[in-house]
Amino acid sequence: MSENRNASGFGMGLLAGVAVGLAIGALYAPHSGKETRTLLKKRAQEAECKAEEILAGARQRAKKIVDNAREPRGHATEFKPEEEAEIENE
């Protein structure tokens, strides 16, 4: 569950950073208002796609980590040779 919070927190931080960057870029833009809006719209769409890719990758990595953690490792069923002898003698 904390992996989902971390991934969504990362995504929200990324989107907030993109928004701030776009706003600063708009203030210093050498283009007209219409050109700037067109560029901002295009860059916002690109940033959204990139953020979705990053989040999808983060979700896949988190799922792998969770799946690996849940996967039985067999430690409880593995015996050393001396332990096997003790069990057979019982």
Identify the weakest region by mean pLDDT among 23-27, 28-32, 78-82: 78-82
Mean pLDDT score, 19-28: 81
> What's the number of domains the chain is made of?
1
Give the whole-angstrom CA distance, residue 60 versus residue 64: 6
pTM above 0.85, yes or no: no
Per-residue pLDDT for 4 more than 70? Answer: no
Query: Which range of residues forms the domain containing residue 42?
Result: 2-79+84-89
Residues in contact with 59: Cβ distance below 8 Å, sequence separation at least 6, in sequence order: 7
> pLDDT, tens digit, for every residue of 28-66?
777 777 887 888 789 889 988 988 998 999 899 989 888
Q: What per-residue confidence (pLDDT) applies to 34? A: 84
